[in-house]
C-alpha cells in the first residue's frame, strides 16, 4: 500500500460517519451523559442519536460523514422535531461534537 492510500484511509477513519458517531459516544460517556442509538424500522429518517441531558431534556443528533448533508426525508423529520420544540443538531465533525458537549454543561 502506498503512502497516499494510507493517508486516505487515515483521513477517512477520522471523518467517516462511524468515526464521528464513535467520538460522540465517547465524549458523552466522559461527561456522564447517556447517548442512545435511535432506530425504529417503522419510522425512518429520524436522527441517529439521542443525547440525554440532566433536567429531562434531550438533543437529537444526526451524524454525517464530513461534508455530507441530511437526505430530504431526514430534513423533513428534523423540521418536524424542531416544530415540536426539540433541539436537533446535524454534525459532521469532531469539533462540533466538542461544542455540543460544551453547551450541555452550561
- CATH number for position 83: 3.40.1350.10
- Indicate the pTM of the whole model: 0.84
- Give yes or no for a contact between 44 and 73, defined as CB atoms under 8 angstroms apart: yes
Structural domain span for residue 35: 3-104
Q: Is the pLDDT of residue 36 over 70?
A: yes
**28-33 CB contacts, 8 Å cutoff, 24+ apart:** 28/101, 31/101, 31/104, 31/105, 33/101, 33/104
Q: What value does the mean pLDDT of the chain take?
A: 90
Q: Is the pLDDT of residue 93 over 50?
A: yes
pLDDT band at 106 (very low <50, low <70, confident <90, very high): low
State the total domains in the chain. 1
Tell me what pLDDT residue 10 has. 45
For residue 35, which of 15, 47, 51 has the smallest C-alpha distance? Answer: 51
Amino acid at each position: 500500500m502506498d503512502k497516499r492510500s494510507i493517508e486516505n484511509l487515515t483521513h477517512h477513519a477520522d471523518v467517516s460517519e462511524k468515526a464521528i458517531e464513535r467520538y460522540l459516544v465517547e465524549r458523552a460517556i466522559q461527561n456522564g451523559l447517556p447517548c442512545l442509538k435511535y432506530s425504529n424500522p417503522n419510522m425512518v429518517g429520524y436522527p441517529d442519536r439521542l443525547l440525554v441531558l440532566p433536567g429531562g431534556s434531550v438533543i437529537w443528533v444526526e451524524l454525517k460523514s464530513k461534508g455530507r448533508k441530511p437526505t430530504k426525508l431526514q430534513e423533513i423529520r428534523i423540521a418536524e422535531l424542531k416544530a415540536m420544540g426539540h433541539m436537533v443538531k446535524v454534525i459532521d465533525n469532531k469539533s462540533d461534537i466538542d461544542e455540543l458537549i460544551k453547551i450541555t454543561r452550561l
